[in-house]
Structure 1
């Protein structure tokens, strides 16, 4: 039988003392824990785990039955509920009015700037993309109105300056009025005016240099315009791309400037739709087009005949040549995104593009679009 001397047993006692002290502390702590915690502790220590589950129920009844000290709310006074509903309706109307104003100022959509045509900015690549885009019709018309003609014919040769698509689904209904606008300064829209007049349209011609419009009166010419011998109303007014300050109420003929956006002109003349629109804006077309895109005006235009000018950047268009070309292409794509599809393209004279001579491009193009979303 082995025996231990007192000196030999001392190290063993020193090793056993710390675990014993820890066990005593844990037992003392367990007696102070809540019942749920003690049950977990017992299971962790190897004892039987408490199987009882304790749950709490929170009542959502604002007036629980039998609740001590429950408050009794008096019934609402007569008309209070209707007053609250009216206030909510007023708030909703104010919210809608504010949204409408912001939409008119900012536009329902912003012009989307397209990516570069190549890996890096290139005058040749950007111009080639534009020329290829405007030279390829996106929609074929089986019957058209050609310049000066009021009866539909088969599409003629590409020598026609412009064409109006005579498909029934693109023309105004016989029981509804037809409206046509023309914006040009040099009188080169005579064939267009003649064509739409013979179609029975209400025709308005806008030319700020026309001294005969409105009896030669300066400024606003919509309230009292002059009609020529073929029934065309002439206005001494031009298109603008800058949105004026908000007008609370627009009335027929209520314009005070000789330059207005298309939306304001239509509102002043009482027109919701323009079926045929002709525009030669002498390089202002790019910013005007952008305004139409961002303001959503194009949804109310069915046919658009417009001349684009490539000799210089245009009014309020900045940047180097590559940036200008990319902006032009972005505007053309914005017209397409608004529902316009190209049906005819006519190349004008000259070969100057942004003051550079380009043999395979022209200085201007007259393009005809139709709106497939009206």
Structure 2
């Protein structure tokens, strides 16, 4: 009996002690003692330091992503504004600096370069030289447009005479007549030791800027009267840099290279007398799209042989010649003047074919160049 009472008393005392400890602990936690930690909210359980660091980094990354998203939206909005303002801006710029109708802007160099011309179909199934020559000669001796000079101007009438051989079109329908009046025309004349420059002198007196190119000159550049002379000539390819380094200067270049070197966008008249190199030069003008920057083309054709670097049998050569001239027609060039020197021999690829002359001087006008 005594032992049971002793055990019961110990249990009561232990229970009272635990109760007191619990009450003290509760009071301690509920009371904001100085230096005691702040009570923790139930929705934010205690986290290890590593987890807290990861959470902080996640918040920073999320904030950066939101900022980038807002920046992208601003950029998209800015681009949309530019697109909306673009046509209006272009329209304003076009009013400020319109492109003259006579000088069409060069195509961004332009068009994709071509590697070969488009050959025309054969003149006949037999592929004979006579049929090819008949088609070709009929083409170069038939004017495609008429060109009447300005009425009442004796100088213009004189330069259009067939006896001069070379002729330009001063018809008011095209740009040259108006550009000579405003003194804004430019002439390129290529020749090998050319003696007859009556046309160049006429155009220089009319107010045109005339450049004569002759690789036989002793000086690189020379101003003579109202014309510029250059020790340079046109070719269908640019010179080899190694050869240029040996000779210290290049005396032949492509027309596109010469235009770029001189800083010229267009040439109102391009006169070429290159003694059988004209076919490859013309091919280069076609393939590189340089014809867009030429207003009138005056060309002497030599038919007594195929020409430099023109290969193939005789019918194929004539087909190639005809295809080149059809490329001119596709570029909106129209033949307005033909001249055949009666003193030239009657040779066509070393033969007498249809009594054709060995040389013809032809003149085309670019019908896209309007006043």
TM surpasses 0.5: yes
Structure 1 residue 189 displacement after superposition = 3.6
In structure 1, the residue matched to 2:156 is 152
Deviations 1:230-266 (A, max 9, x none): 2211111111212679xxxxxxxxx963211111111
Q: Which is further off, 348-357 or 308-317? A: 348-357
Q: Which SS does the other structure have where 1:356 is aligned?
A: coil
- Contact 2:298/2:363 (<8 A) preserved: yes
Q: Which consecutive unaligned segments of at least 5 residues does structure 1 have?
A: 1-72, 90-98, 215-224, 246-254
Q: How far is the alpha carbon of 1:270 from its aligned partner?
A: 1.6
Establish whether residue 302 from structure 1 lines up as the match of residue 295 from structure 2: yes
**1 CA distance for matches of 2:356 and 2:167?**
21
Quote the residue 1:278 is aligned against: 271
Q: Which residue of 1 aligns with 2:58?
A: none
Count of matched residue pairs: 268
1:258 counterpart residue number: 251
Equivalent residues of 1:144, 1:155 under 8 A apart: no
Q: Which has the larger radius of gyration?
A: 2
CA distance in 2, matches of 1:205, 1:152: 21
In 1, Cα distance between the equivalents of 2:165 and 2:278? Answer: 18
Residue-by-residue CA offset, 1:14-34 (whole Å, 9 max, x unaligned): xxxxxxxxxxxxxxxxxxxxx
- For residues 368 and 321 of structure 2, what CA distance do their matches in structure 1 show? 23
SS of the counterpart of 1:279? strand
> In structure 2, the residue corresponding to 1:276 is in which secondary structure?
strand
Which has more helix, going by share of residues? 2
Normalized against structure 1, the TM-score is what? 0.64
Partner in structure 2 of residue 24 of structure 1? none
Residue 113 of structure 1 aligns to a residue whose secondary structure is coil
Q: CA RMSD in A?
A: 3.3
1:161 corresponds to which of 162, 165, 174: 165
Map 1:47-126 to 2 at 5 A.
74=66, 76-77=68-69, 79-80=71-72, 103=111, 106-107=113-114, 110-126=116-132
- Verify the 8 A CA contact 2:205 2:226 in the aligned structure 1: no
* Paired residue secondary structure (2:274): coil
1:140 counterpart = 2:150: no
Contact 1:178–1:275 (8 Å) recurs in 2: yes
What is the TM-score normalised by the length of structure 2? 0.64
2:222 corresponds to which residue? 226
Which protein has greater RCO, CA pairs closer than 8 Å, 6+ apart? 2
Q: Is the 8 A contact 2:231 2:251 kept in 1?
A: yes
Which residue of 1 is the match for residue 90 of structure 2?
none
Distance 1:280 1:77, change over 3 A: same
CA distance in 1, matches of 2:357, 2:345: 5
Is 1:364 matched with 2:363? no
Task: Work out the CA distance in 1 between the residues paired with 2:319 and 2:293.
Answer: 27
Partner of 1:332: 325
Q: Distance in 2 between matches of 1:86 and 1:327?
A: 55
From the superposition, tell whether residues 84 and 207 of structure 1 become closer, same or farther in structure 2 (CA, over 3 Å). Answer: farther
Q: For the Cα contact (< 8 Å) 1:142–1:155, is it kept in 2?
A: no
- Equivalent position SS for 2:334: strand
Cα 1:305–1:256, aligned 2, differ >3 Å: closer, same or farther? same
Gaps of 5+ in 2: 1-64, 83-106, 241-247
Q: Partner of 1:236 in structure 2?
A: 231
Q: Distance in 2 between matches of 1:190 and 1:115?
A: 39
Match of 1:195 in 2: 202
Does 2:187 align with 1:180? yes
